């Protein structure tokens, strides 16, 4: 059974504590830390004062890819400006991984995707920290490690391919093509699994951390992101992304905060929880876990 380490302490010290509980050693490795840099106007993205000390101690590079939707981060130059505005360049190098193109990796046993497209700089890293912000999402229901690993690691064209459930790589066309919502949810799971499979075959480790603060019903990719709707929950970390996302969902469902109902409604209106059993069926991880408070 997967272990999920948990702390209520949403501080740099708490973040370091759950990471150390994972028992990994990334010293001497080139580490990519995948976070959302947040759309210009968004409020909930992970802030420099929280994650900066952790990233600096790892010697990590903040890694991102451009967006498929029109906005302030759909070109590398504009994206870097937003990263600077949001403080990421103050504590680490920032790499827009698809600034120079993309690589194609296989999707095994996918019902919707035949391949996945990642930023070409993905192969420059020896190890990754999938550092997600737990919140709702207007299209996927919720966003945490699985979304960060699928949409997040994908190049601009790769994002279009996932959003269109494998129908097009065009960022212009992907938004007008119609498909069942469940197909999009499952496409994200297939892309996330492809990344994990690729890293395993290359013997490159990845760990999963989700910070559950400033929890709104919309994503950090939303320029008009809403205010938090519920209490902060803490930080979870695991070697298993399915277990880590399941722990986040379970905490949202267990919360007595009246605002949690709004998030639960958003998640289920988009079939968001369906990503978990499907990802488990693909072999990405387990919905069963042991929660260990640190």
Domain ranges across the chain: 2-293
- Asked if 235 and 212 count as a contact pair (C-beta separation under 8 A), the reply is yes
- Asked if 292 and 18 count as a contact pair (C-beta separation under 8 A), the reply is no
How far apart, in whole angstroms, are the C-alpha atoms of residue 178 and residue 134? 27
For the stretch 185-201, pLDDT in tens is: 999 999 999 999 999 99
Across the range 121-136, mean pLDDT stands at 98
Percent of the chain with pLDDT over 70: 100
C-alpha 220 chain-centroid distance: 11
Residue written as token pair 């205010």: 227
pLDDT greater than 90 at residue 220? no
pLDDT greater than 90 at residue 34? yes
Q: Residue 49: which residues within 8 A CB-CB, separation 6 or more?
A: 12
C-alpha 38 chain-centroid distance: 12
Please tell me the predicted confidence (pLDDT) of residue 3.
Answer: 98
pLDDT greater than 90 at residue 86? yes
pLDDT band at residue 224 under the 50/70/90 scheme: confident
- Asked if 10 and 107 count as a contact pair (C-beta separation under 8 A), the reply is no
pLDDT greater than 90 at residue 23? yes
2-293 — its CATH code? 3.40.50.11440
Across the range 143-156, mean pLDDT stands at 98
pLDDT greater than 90 at residue 222? no
Within 13 Å, how many C-alpha atoms sit on residue 69's CB side?
Answer: 10
pLDDT greater than 90 at residue 223? no
Name the DSSP class of 168: -
């Amino acid at each position: 059974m997967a272990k999920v380490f948990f702390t209520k302490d949403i501080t740099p010290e708490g973040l370091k504590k759950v990471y150390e509980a994972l028992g990994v050693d990334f010293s001497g490795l080139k580490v990519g830390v995948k976070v959302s840099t947040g759309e210009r106007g968004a409020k909930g993205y992970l802030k420099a004062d929280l994650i900066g000390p952790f990233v600096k101690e790892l010697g990590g590079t903040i890694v991102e890819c451009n967006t498929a939707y029109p906005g302030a981060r759909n070109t590398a130059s504009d994206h870097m400006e937003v990263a600077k505005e949001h403080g990421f360049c103050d504590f680490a190098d920032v790499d827009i991984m698809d600034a120079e193109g993309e690589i194609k990796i296989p999707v095994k046993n996918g019902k919707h995707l035949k391949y996945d497209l990642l930023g070409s700089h993905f192969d420059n890293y020896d190890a990754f920290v999938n550092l997600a912000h737990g919140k709702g999402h207007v299209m996927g229901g919720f966003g945490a490690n699985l979304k960060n690993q699928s949409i997040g690691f994908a190049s601009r064209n790769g994002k279009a391919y996932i959003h269109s459930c494998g129908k097009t790589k065009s960022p212009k066309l992907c938004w007008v093509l119609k498909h069942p919502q469940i197909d999009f949810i499952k496409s994200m799971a297939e892309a996330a699994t492809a990344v994990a499979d690729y890293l395993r075959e290359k013997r490159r480790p990845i760990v999963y951390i989700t910070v559950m603060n400033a929890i709104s019903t919309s994503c950090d990719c939303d320029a008009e992101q809403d205010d938090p709707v519920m209490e902060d929950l803490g930080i979870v970390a695991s070697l298993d992304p399915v277990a880590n996302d399941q722990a986040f969902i379970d905490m949202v469902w267990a919360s007595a905060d009246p605002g949690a109902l709004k998030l639960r409604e958003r998640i289920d209106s988009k079939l968001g929880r369906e990503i978990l059993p499907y990802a488990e069926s693909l072999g990405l991880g387990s919905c069963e876990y042991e929660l260990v408070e640190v």
